[in-house]
Amino acid sequence: MGASAEGEGAKVAAREPGSEAPLMVTKLSPPLDATAPLWARLARVLRRLVEGLYHHDGLSAAPAMAFHFFLSLFPLLVVVGWIVGKIARSRGVEVLVDAAFAAAPQAFATIGKRELERLAATDLSAAPLALVGFMWLASSGVHGMMDAFERALAVPKRRPYWKKRAIAITFVLAGLVALAFVAFASVGLESVAAAIPPSAPLVSQGPAGSSLVEAARDVGERVRLSFDHVLALSCFFGLAVSGVAVFYRFAVETSSVRRRVWPGATLAIVLWLVISWAFGAYVSSLGQYTLYYGSLAAVAVVLVWLWLTSLALLVGAELNAQLEGTRI
C-alpha cells in the first residue's frame, strides 16, 4: 500500500490552513535537482506539465473553453462592426482590425475582416443585444477557465457562481478595452509614420547620385517600418503578458501560497504566438481542411486555433501552480 501511494499520479490528502475539507493533491513526477543535466531538467519540467494537465482535466477544459469562445465570436463581430462603423468610417476598417487579427490564422483573419467590413457598412440596431450575448458567451469561456485554474491550484474553497461570473465579465470587458487600445495605438503609429517627411538628398544630383539617394531612402524606409513593427509587437506582447498575469492573479482566490503569475503568463503568450504561427503555416501549406470539411473548413480552423489558445493559457496556469509548490 505504501508503494502504491508513492507512485506517480497517486492522490494524497492535504489541508489548507483554516479549511475543514481535505484536499486531494495529485502527486507528479518529482523535479530533478540542480546537478542534473539541463536537458534532463527541461524534459522533467515538460513531463510534469503534461501530467498536471492530464490529472487536472486541462485537456478536457480546453475544448469547452474553445467552444464558448467560438460562440462568442459572432456577437463580437456584430458589436465591433457597429463600433467601427460609428467611429472609424473615415479611416477604413483595415487600419483598426489588422492588429487584432495579426496572430490569427489566415482563414480566421480573412473571414473576420470581411464580416467587419460588411457590418461596418450597415446600420445595426441589434448591436446592444449582440453585446449582451457576447458578454455572456465569452464570460462562460472565462468562467470555465477559472474552474480549470482552481483545479490546477487545488483550491479547497471555491468562489460562488455569481462572483466568478462577475469576475469573468469584468475580465471580458477589460479584454475589449485592451483590444481597442492596441487597435487605436496601431492607427496612431501609422499616422505618425505618415507624418514623417522623406529624407533630404545627401549627395549631389545626377544619374549616380539619384540612384544612391533612392537606395538610401529605401533603406531608411525599411528601417523605419521595421522599427514601427517591432515597437507595435513589443507593446502588444507586454500588454498581453500583463493582462494574462493579472488574470492568473485574480482568477483564483487562495492565500495559502505565494502567488507566481509572471512565468506562466510569459510562457502562455510565447506558446500562443508560436502555436499561432506554426498552425497558420500548417494550414496555409500542408493542411487540407477544405478537402475534409468543405465549406466548414474555416470553422474547423478557428475551433482548432481557439482550442490551442485555451491549452496555452492552461499550460501557463499549470506552470505557475508547480512553481508555487501546490504540486507535490
pLDDT one-digit tens code per residue, 222-254? 555 566 667 777 878 888 899 999 999 888 887
Exposed (0-12), middle (13-18) or buried (19+): which is 150, by Cβ within 10 Å? buried
Q: What is the pLDDT of residue 266?
A: 95
Q: How confident is residue 311, by pLDDT bands cut at 50, 70 and 90?
A: very high
Give the tens place of pLDDT for each residue, 254-299: 765 667 889 999 999 999 999 988 888 888 776 666 677 666 777 8
Which tops the pLDDT comparison, 208 or 321? 321
Which segments of the chain does DSSP mark as H helices, in order?
Answer: 2-6, 38-55, 58-87, 93-97, 106-120, 127-152, 161-195, 207-251, 262-285, 289-293, 297-323
pLDDT above 80 (res 211): no
* Residue 3 resides in a domain: no
Residue 14: which H helix or E strand, with range? strand 11-14
Distance CA 25, CA 38 (A): 28
Q: How do residues 174-187 score in pLDDT, each as one tens digit?
A: 888 877 776 666 65
Domain membership of residue 90 (yes or no) is: yes
Residue 328 maps to a domain: no
1 in a structural domain:
no
pLDDT at 246: 92
C-alpha cell at 283: 494550414
Grid coordinates standing for 157? 474553497
- pLDDT tens string 159-209: 888 999 999 999 988 888 877 776 666 656 555 555 555 544 444 444 544
By C-alpha distance, which of 247, 238, 248, 245 is closest to 273?
Answer: 238
How much is the average pLDDT of 8-21?
Answer: 41
The pLDDT, as a whole number, for residue 233 is 76
Comparing 77-91, 106-120, 205-219, 283-297, the range with the smallest average pLDDT is 205-219
pLDDT at 191: 55
The whole model's pTM is what? 0.72
Q: Provide the domain count of the chain.
A: 1
34-43 as b/e: b if 16+ CB within 10 A: eeeeeeeeee
Is residue 219 predicted with pLDDT exceeding 60? no
- Beta carbons of 146 and 248 less than 8 angstroms apart: no
184 part of a folded domain: yes
According to DSSP, the residues that pair with 24 across neighbouring strands are: 13
- Give percent above pLDDT 70 in the chain: 55
- Helix 161-195 to helix 207-251 angle (10° resolution) is 170
Whether 35 shows a pLDDT value over 90: the answer reads: no
Instruction: Count other Cβ atoms within 10 Å, centred on residue 312.
Output: 21
* Domain boundaries, position 126: 8-323
For residue 2, is it within any domain? no
Q: List CB contacts of 59: < 8 A, sequence separation 6 or more.
A: 53, 311
Q: Alpha-carbon distance 83 to 80, whole Å?
A: 5
Using CA atoms, how far residue 25 sits from 2, 15, 240, in Å, is: 17, 10, 31
**Which of 59-63, 119-123, 194-198 has maximum average pLDDT?**
59-63
User: In this model, does residue 316 exceed pLDDT 90?
Assistant: yes
Measured between alpha carbons, how far is 96 from 102 in angstroms, rounded to an integer? 11
User: Average model confidence (pLDDT) for the chain?
Assistant: 72
